[in-house]
Amino acid sequence: MILNTEGVIMNYIDQKLPEFSVNAYQQGATRTITTADVLGKWAVFFFYPADFTFVCPTELGDLQAHYEDFQKANAEIYSVSEDSEFVHKAWADATDTIGQVQYPMLADPAGKLARFFDVLDEDAGQAYRGVFIVNPEGQIKSYTINDMNIGRNANEVYRTLMAAEFVAAHGDMVCPANWHPGETPITPSLDLVGKI
């Protein structure tokens, strides 16, 4: 949790990733992923409560169905739960949906990443459904956090990623509600005040 000098919770926009090193499962193999591995491209950290559950496989499957789009957008998806990399492997072996997942599944059994992003329910030992979009420099540019029973939509995560990338490339323009790539952005000016 990030607190200001008065002890009030601050937002995460532009906060930089901490130095971390975690184990991961990816397509039949285990590996280590560090902060350095994440930098240099856009990243989506996708926290979920636990393997072998009910809403979680629908979300991870939805992300996998859109994974090629994320890759074309120079972004990597990192799903994260408090399970070990070995539990991730067992889940992939046991479940067709998870067996198709190609992106890294990070293992955070000590809760270090979940605590940094402030999504850990300490009593349950599980993470809330947090999505954090991080730029290539390691700064958080968007985040949402859902309660454990509320599933998310990969299309909206992708749309938000594309808007974040567009704004990073065109700092003088902004993306209105429901903006999608190829649609007209807004260039703020006095002429538009009261006319939108």
**pLDDT tens across the length of the chain (196 residues):** 555 556 656 689 999 999 999 999 999 999 999 999 999 999 999 999 999 999 999 999 999 999 999 999 999 999 999 999 999 999 999 999 999 999 999 999 999 999 999 999 999 999 999 999 999 999 999 999 999 999 999 999 999 999 999 999 988 887 778 888 887 776 766 565 665 6
55 in a structural domain: yes
Residue 137 lies in a domain: yes
Catalytic residues: 56
Asked if 103 and 57 touch (Cβ cutoff 8 Å), the reply is no
**How many domains, in total, are found in the chain?**
1
Alpha carbon 159 to its chain centroid, in Å, reads 13
Alpha-carbon gap, residue 166 to 184, rounded angstroms: 11
pLDDT at 57: 98
Asked whether residue 41 is domain-assigned, the answer is: yes
Q: Kindly report the number of other CB atoms within 10 A of residue 134's CB atom.
A: 27
- CA pair distance 144, 149, nearest whole angstrom: 14
Whether 192 is covered by a domain: the verdict is no
Residue 57's CB is within 10 A of a number of other CB atoms, namely 18
Domain that holds residue 98: 21-171
- According to the model, what pLDDT value does residue 184 have? 78
Give CA–CA dist 62/56, Å, rounded. Answer: 10
Which CATH number covers residue 84? 3.40.30.10
Distance from the first to the final alpha carbon of the chain: 37
| Pick from 54, 62, 32, 68: nearest CA to 131 | 62
Q: Which two tokens stand for residue 70?
A: 């994320």
- Kindly give, in sequence order, each residue whose CB lies less than 8 Å from that of residue 130, ignoring residues fewer than 6 positions away: 45, 46, 47, 117, 119, 143, 144, 145, 146
**74 inside domain:** yes
